[in-house]
Chains A and B, each alone.
Chain A
């Protein structure tokens, strides 16, 4: 692939994109999803272990990329497993990214419809949202990276400010006992937390744009550690304030955490709108990068201009967006995507990595034999 030099991003930008892609709808639901499975206050341990697993997966992906600098997964998997099968895997990736984008936006409309824009027809807010996102991604990876660099610090600062204000009503007893029922509940909660780290797979595509592709491991690790910290704080605060039994009853526990207190005397008494604003920015960034990744895949698979793919994908994503009939179907959809990502990005990169090593090994052997 011949990438324009101005389309290069540096290591920090790559890390920021990974973080922004990971942080999405998960922030609001992570503590419930995990607490439902775990049933004990050890949710934060699950988050920690889930993060470590994500880092391991990220390192595998980044190492895979290193062997094929300047190339995205769509291109090099065709080298590794052959033109047709590689193309098929590439198409699966494209489908996955489209579904992720649709899922994130659907979650967004559910939340805004409930708390912010009751009465606004969902399609109205979604369309505007998608168009603004299209505007950004048509510009290419560099504008995306620069915008994300602005969004992430704002997100982190406001998020910490807002959630840590709940410390006042945090009851440490809600977080105890630690490992009261052994390690099993923690492992049960793992699945939910690993789901929430999906998004790191974007490194498979990002490395091709990096100025220093050999630093992709660093980028992905930094990119995962950031959301891991945010998830940890979320889990501790939500469980500490609402208790495990409270968290499992709430649809959007993190929002309820922020709605559980009022600070009188400050300019603002209530902070959920601030939280929602940064959350919407995060969904925006997740959506943008997902569509960008999907379009890039299409354009590289079929040799068409990437902008055309973007325009073509928007209506498709909109249709997927409209499919879930209610919130239960939506969360089933979310689980479905999570499961797919587990196979697609848990197993496929490892297989690809092994195959590429084996291939390289065999070519080297033949080289030696020839010489």
Chain B
């Protein structure tokens, strides 16, 4: 009996020691210093970089079709510290861009492993920029499939389009900017301008892609290391391919239709004096109503906005009276109507894509009718009569009371 007890005790001690082995922590850890974190990605039509052509000449490579040139923006290890210390090593950029040409995106990403000492990881990917020509050849399903499937890349990643090479939007002039973070920061500026549309993340996109609905993606252009959000790319529902570009004015019109602007301005000209009057948008609301008459669908849109008179070039010493405010409101309404006309014509007649969400409204108000026509929605939409009314309300004139 005594022996048994001892044996049990020995066993217990042995097991305790065994469990210690399980306590040593992470089994398959990767130290952050041994990883390359990529924060931005650019997808372009195949065009090999100089380095790639040289490497190709020297080495052999797998059989792959050259369809896509893929650019990764990798944050340099020390960049965080560098940002803090002004005047330290100013000659190196805080990021590096590397490119690879081929077809399967995952193959391309893994290709970097044979070029760099530290493997790349996607946990911190912030933004994907897709070239518009490329998106014209391949559907979003094909281009984004890997990102939606991968377990590192988060669905909160933003997707942007570029009418120029996407690679260029991931470059910056100075040595203090990480271009992907700059793009992210610019998206946050929505409360100052109507030209930036609500950010499209992978998680929103996949719903739209699966529903085969049309949508807008912010267009970004780049030159000499500077970037600008300019207009938006239209992705057509059925094909999920790039359909065309909306100019800045057309985009403004579409934004007014959706009522999803956070803040911005309307510049108009006073009818009487032909001088500039600028209206600052404080709130913006749009109400789309759908009507069905047999198989015919029609919409009307009520747009309401409140704001401030922020700039006024008319020279008159008289204080601003109701009549002038009325005139200013009419002028701004006229300008908005013009923008809407432009935008609506483009999306409805040229592109035949419902990027505003008329279909969603129809689904909410007349779900039965929507089920019947949703397969052919973009065509039905292109024929649907749409009327709109704009109502502006200037609530104050800022700190200055007179003209």
A residues in contact (CB < 8 Å) with B: 114-115, 117-120, 124, 128, 169, 173-174, 176-177, 180-181, 241-250, 256-257, 259-262, 270
A-B contact count (CB 8 A): 76
Asked whether, in the complex, the Cβ of B364 is within 8 Å of the Cβ of A173, the reply is: yes
Instruction: Tell me whether A260 and B203 are in contact in the complex, defined as CB-CB below 8 angstroms, given that A173-B357, A246-B210, A248-B210 are known contacts.
Output: yes
Residue B206 interfacial (CB < 8 Å)? yes
What are the residues of chain A within 8 A of B28 when measuring CB–CB?
A: 117-120
Which residue from B27, B156, B203, B370 sits with its C-beta under 8 Å from A246? Answer: B203
Residue B151 interfacial (CB < 8 Å)? yes
The secondary-structure label for the interface of chain B is helix
Asked whether, in the complex, the Cβ of B371 is within 8 Å of the Cβ of A243, the reply is: no
Asked whether, in the complex, the Cβ of A246 is within 8 Å of the Cβ of B363, the reply is: no
B residues in contact (CB < 8 Å) with A: 22, 27-28, 148, 151, 154-156, 201, 203-204, 206-211, 357, 360, 363-365, 367-368, 370-371
What are the residues of chain A within 8 A of B211 when measuring CB–CB?
A: 243, 245
Asked whether, in the complex, the Cβ of A259 is within 8 Å of the Cβ of B156, the reply is: yes
Rounded to whole Å, the gap between the CB of A165 and the closest CB of chain B is 12
What are the residues of chain B within 8 A of A180 when measuring CB–CB?
A: 363-364, 367-368, 370
Asked whether, in the complex, the Cβ of A120 is within 8 Å of the Cβ of B367, the reply is: no
The closest CB in chain B to the CB of A179 belongs to: B367
What are the residues of chain B within 8 A of A241 when measuring CB–CB?
A: 203
Rounded to whole Å, the gap between the CB of A100 and the closest CB of chain B is 26
Asked whether, in the complex, the Cβ of A115 is within 8 Å of the Cβ of B151, the reply is: yes
Asked whether, in the complex, the Cβ of A128 is within 8 Å of the Cβ of B367, the reply is: no
Which residue from B27, B156, B208 sits with its C-beta under 8 Å from A124? Answer: B27
What are the residues of chain B within 8 A of A247 when measuring CB–CB?
A: 207
What are the residues of chain B within 8 A of A259 when measuring CB–CB?
A: 154-156, 203
Instruction: Tell me whether A245 and B208 are in contact in the complex, defined as CB-CB below 8 angstroms, given that A173-B364, A176-B364, A262-B156 are known contacts.
Output: yes
Per the bound structure, the CA–CA distance linking A64 and B363 in Å amounts to 47
Rounded to whole Å, the gap between the CB of B375 and the closest CB of chain A is 14
Per the bound structure, the CA–CA distance linking A366 and B89 in Å amounts to 100
A-B contact pairs, 17 of them (CB 8 A): A169-B201, A169-B204, A173-B357, A176-B364, A177-B364, A180-B364, A181-B371, A242-B207, A245-B206, A245-B208, A245-B209, A246-B203, A249-B206, A257-B203, A259-B156, A260-B154, A262-B156
What are the residues of chain A within 8 A of B151 when measuring CB–CB?
A: 114-115, 118
Closest 3 CB pairs of A and B: A180-B367, A246-B207, A119-B28
What are the residues of chain B within 8 A of A169 when measuring CB–CB?
A: 201, 203-204
What are the residues of chain A within 8 A of B367 when measuring CB–CB?
A: 177, 180-181
What are the residues of chain B within 8 A of A181 when measuring CB–CB?
A: 367-368, 371
Per the bound structure, the CA–CA distance linking A250 and B154 in Å amounts to 13
Per the bound structure, the CA–CA distance linking A118 and B152 in Å amounts to 10
What are the residues of chain A within 8 A of B22 when measuring CB–CB?
A: 128
Given contacts A260-B155, A260-B201, 19 further A-B contacts (CB under 8 A): A114-B151, A115-B151, A124-B27, A169-B204, A173-B364, A177-B367, A181-B367, A241-B203, A242-B207, A243-B211, A244-B207, A245-B208, A246-B207, A256-B203, A257-B203, A260-B154, A260-B156, A262-B154, A262-B156
Per the bound structure, the CA–CA distance linking A236 and B151 in Å amounts to 24
Rounded to whole Å, the gap between the CB of A154 and the closest CB of chain B is 23
**Candidate in B28, B148, B155 with the most chain A CB atoms within 10 angstroms:** B155
Per the bound structure, the CA–CA distance linking A245 and B360 in Å amounts to 13
Asked whether, in the complex, the Cβ of A246 is within 8 Å of the Cβ of B360, the reply is: no
What are the residues of chain B within 8 A of A117 when measuring CB–CB?
A: 27-28
**Candidate in B154, B201, B203 with the most chain A CB atoms within 10 angstroms:** B203
Instruction: Tell me whether A242 and B203 are in contact in the complex, defined as CB-CB below 8 angstroms, given that A119-B28, A173-B357, A180-B367 are known contacts.
Output: yes
The closest CB in chain B to the CB of A246 belongs to: B207
Asked whether, in the complex, the Cβ of B207 is within 8 Å of the Cβ of A243, the reply is: yes
Rounded to whole Å, the gap between the CB of B12 and the closest CB of chain A is 13
Instruction: Tell me whether A119 and B27 are in contact in the complex, defined as CB-CB below 8 angstroms, given that A181-B368, A259-B155 are known contacts.
Output: yes
Per the bound structure, the CA–CA distance linking A105 and B360 in Å amounts to 40
What are the residues of chain B within 8 A of A120 when measuring CB–CB?
A: 27-28
**Candidate in B22, B148, B151 with the most chain A CB atoms within 10 angstroms:** B151
Rounded to whole Å, the gap between the CB of B239 and the closest CB of chain A is 17
Per the bound structure, the CA–CA distance linking A117 and B357 in Å amounts to 41
Per the bound structure, the CA–CA distance linking A181 and B367 in Å amounts to 7
What are the residues of chain B within 8 A of A249 when measuring CB–CB?
A: 148, 206-207, 210
What are the residues of chain B within 8 A of A242 when measuring CB–CB?
A: 203, 206-207
Per the bound structure, the CA–CA distance linking A171 and B137 in Å amounts to 31
**Candidate in B204, B208, B209 with the most chain A CB atoms within 10 angstroms:** B204
